[in-house]
Chain A
Amino acid sequence: MTITQPPGVDTPASEPRKPAPPTFRQRLGRLDVKLSPYLYIAPFWIVFALVGLFPIIYTAVIAFQDWDLVRNTGEFTGWDNFAFVLQDREFWFSLRNTFSIFLLSSVPQVIVATVIAAMLDKNIRSKTFWRMGVLLPYVVAPVAVALIFSNMFGDRYGLVNSVLGDFGIDPIAWHVDIIPSHIAIATMVNFRWTGYNALILLAAMQAIPRDLYEAAAIDGAGTWRRFFSVTLPQIRPTMIFVIITSTIGGLQIFDEPRMYDTNGQGGSNHQWETITLYLYKTGWGEFNFGRAAAVAWLLFIIIVAIGLLNFAVTQRLIATDTMAKKSKNLKKVTK
């Protein structure tokens, strides 16, 4: 040992070894391990705090006041704004419309997106072309989509009604009746988002191991059986993601109803006024920002509630899924 020891370095062999105080470098290293992860995610949290958290809290503050936007002052009014909004017929009309448009758009959208994704997942010619093709509507600005579709859905001179007329169907009052106006708006939303969701679902489908299909085919499962018993269960997590994002998007729908007619007020009898449109009208139309803030918070609570509901349902789905798997495994073991 001593032979190999380089000259000039003596070991204090007699003294019992004390842990040396950590050097600056070591301390830095330890700090690095502990702190770095937080520093790496800090930019997101700082930006989020500035443009997300702060506005949410500030909105809550404003919601309890009779707020003057220009002078930046308000008078505390307690729950008055919330009470008014909850008693306002317009709020309940807009809540009804929001849910109706949301259901009319999200449900068909997810179903059609799944079907399109399944078709794109097959071995077809010029795959990239078709995949980019379904994304194309997403590139078009929502306002442009709304302009085109509101023209097509014109009550008197619209393309849709004239085509219906060719089939002997009476013209539909797209801008007067409630459900037709919701269908027209849902069509715009679907046009824009179906392809986008289809691509996300397609990515999930591509990740399914092909041997599952082979095994299923060998067991004699047909195309449909393979789709329902292999594809759908395998893409469930992605499906949940798609459903949650389209729920949030659906409840915040604004551009399409705003641009659906040139007045942007949601119809003469609130036929297609959504909550966000109601919020905008209250704020910028009536200059009542306290009340608009209360609407914003109510919408926030609704979205959180529905998000939690979504979460609970999906948790249960996943739980039953894993339980089923476990019981299957158990069976295998016992065999």
Chain B
Amino acid sequence: MSLSRRSTHLGIAAGAAVLTLTLAACSGGDTTDDPTTSDTGSSDEPVTLTLATFNQFGYSGESEGGDYMYDLIAEYEEAHPNVDIVYNVADTSNTARENFFTKLGPGGLADIEAIEVDWLAEALQYSDLLADLSNPELDGRWLDWKTAAATDADGRLIGYGTDIGPEAICYNVDAIEAAGMDASREAMTAAIDGDWDNFFALGQQYTDATGKGFYEENAAVLQAMIGQVAVPYEDQSTGEIIALDNPEVKAIYDQLTAASAAGLSAGLSQWGDDWAAGMANGDFAVMPCPSWMLGVINGNAPDGNWDIANAFPGGGGNWGGSYLTVPASGANVEAATELAAWLTAPEQQAKAFANVGAFPSQIDAAASTEVQEATNAFFNDAPIGEIFAERAAAVEVAPYKGALYFQVNDAMVNALRRVDEGVMSADESWAQFEADVQAIS
């Protein structure tokens, strides 16, 4: 769980600098309100709304501590003179998570609280404490799987989607060339396009040629592979853990441990110091790469020569993303819902993308010129907007994540790391994974 939580934080923070630069030229001066959420129905009584997010959502540079092109908070206040917005930003999503669950019951949360997809399953357990935000007028605004993940069993929508993390494959051009392979974007896209067996075969070719690991570590690839399994660890109706009986889980484990036995995994634990240094030193050639990872790579390997393949093994994949929720106990639920709907409208999310590079979950925002024309200089001017919009459209599966998802996934990550680190053999580690999972309750 810490994997992706930390990652989004790092990613968004680092991505900010890169994208604000590259997108400076593509600004549209359009400031019209979203017609679906215009304030026709609401009263003009003065109201103070509190908004709480974490890291950088790209709403206001003043509160988030960045030099942004647009200030969405000021824009809303200008259009609604009776609304005063108090915007608080937590430093990490972990801080926000603890605050959210501590105050969700007794009260004291902001009128709008941002939550991350990693703790969405936990929040869904308490969906009755959050306002139902479903609104027929907003149907079709978001990608289907984004909305489906935030809808509870009774059909209540607890959050409006903000950003997502569609995954492509980033690769180190020099490393790929050193293996005697064609490192052009087109060639790599064609080479990676296919299933996971194809990906591991490509890796074998690379490892045989260079003697180095192909990808960073097994746990990183697990993230991508398990994200394509519709029902990975828990039974959808009963909530019982099925990870040990699910042949797909064991198949992924076997595939990954076989790959690491063949030397494909560089064994660099994600987000660690060695991982960052290994990225700069070319210890591995490719990595699963959600949109927010670009800034992380740029930050860790500023002198590197990296590019993005517009392909992802086994179909599309998503890693990370957030929602805006409205706690039901708030004093201004109606006005808060209106603001949340406005902030997550395609126009605003396109601006947030321009501000910090948070890839929008709205279909229209992904199609907007602001996103489509975005390029990234560090990745050889790759058309990142176009690539990630295509990658987002390729996502077919929104895996079922129940309340125990991250505990089981952590156990799986540890099982794979034990094999990568040489602490245990693949069989021993699986046996311990079984024991760990049985202890979860």
**A residues lining the B interface (CB < 8 Å):** 69-72, 88-90, 150-151, 154-158, 173, 175-176, 261-265, 268-269, 284-287
Contacts and interface: CB of A to CB of B under 8 A. Distances in A.
A158 B273 contact: yes
Contact of B421 (A88, A176, A264, A287): A176
B252 interface: no
B129 interface: yes
B386 interface: no
B406 to A, nearest CB: 8
Contact of B274 (A156, A264, A269): A156
A286 B270 CA distance: 22
Nearest to A88: B439
A157 B418 CA distance: 20
A29 to B, nearest CB: 47
B139 interface: no
Contacts of B424: 269
B1 interface: yes
B2 A70 contact: no
Given A70-B101, A70-B105, A151-B273, A176 B422 contact: yes
A292 B129 CA distance: 24
Contacts of A287: 101, 122, 403
A72 B106 contact: yes
Interface centre among A71, A88, A262, A284 (most CB of B within 10 A): A262
A285 B413 CA distance: 15
Contact of A263 (B97, B101, B269, B273): B269
Nearest to B403: A287
B311 interface: no
A187 to B, nearest CB: 16
30 contacts: A69-B102, A70-B105, A70-B126, A70-B129, A88-B439, A89-B439, A90-B439, A151-B273, A155-B274, A157-B273, A157-B274, A173-B421, A175-B272, A175-B421, A176-B422, A261-B269, A262-B270, A262-B271, A262-B272, A263-B271, A265-B410, A268-B417, A269-B414, A269-B418, A269-B423, A269-B424, A285-B406, A285-B407, A285-B410, A287-B403
B431 interface: no
Q: 5 closest Cβ contacts across the A-B interface?
A: A268-B417, A262-B271, A157-B277, A70-B105, A268-B414
B313 to A, nearest CB: 25
A270 to B, nearest CB: 9
B21 interface: no
B45 to A, nearest CB: 31
Contacts of B117: none
B330 interface: no
A69 B105 contact: yes
B2 A175 contact: no
A59 B435 CA distance: 29
B269 A175 contact: yes
B125 to A, nearest CB: 8
B418 A268 contact: yes
B105 A286 contact: no
B179 interface: no
Interface string B397-422: 00000010011001001110110011
A83 to B, nearest CB: 13
B104 A70 contact: yes
A264 B423 contact: no
A262 B6 contact: yes
B278 interface: yes
A175 B1 CA distance: 19
B3 interface: yes
Interface centre among B129, B277, B421 (most CB of A within 10 A): B421
B268 interface: yes
Nearest to A147: B273
B414 to A, nearest CB: 4
Contacts of A263: 2-3, 269, 271
A222 B106 CA distance: 68
B98 interface: yes
Interface string B103-114: 011100000000
A261 B422 contact: no
Interface string B1-24: 111001000000000000000000
Contacts of A69: 101-102, 105
Contacts of A156: 268, 274, 277-278, 283
Interface string B226-265: 0000000000000000000000000000000000000000
A298 to B, nearest CB: 17
Nearest to A71: B105
A157 B278 contact: yes
A173 B418 CA distance: 13
A262 B271 CA distance: 6
A281 to B, nearest CB: 9
Interface centre among A70, A151, A269 (most CB of B within 10 A): A70
B98 A284 contact: yes
Contacts of A71: 105, 126
Contacts of B101: 69-70, 287
Interface centre among A157, A268, A284, A285 (most CB of B within 10 A): A268
A286 B423 contact: no
B363 to A, nearest CB: 33
B105 A72 contact: yes
B440 to A, nearest CB: 8
A265 B422 CA distance: 18
A157 B273 CA distance: 8
Contacts of B129: 70
A264 B105 CA distance: 27
Contacts of A284: 97-98
B360 to A, nearest CB: 28
Contact of A261 (B272, B418, B439): B272
Nearest to A151: B273
A157 B274 CA distance: 6
B22 to A, nearest CB: 28
Nearest to B97: A284
Nearest to B129: A70
Contacts of B439: 88-90
Given A263-B3, A265-B2, A150 B423 contact: no
B256 to A, nearest CB: 14
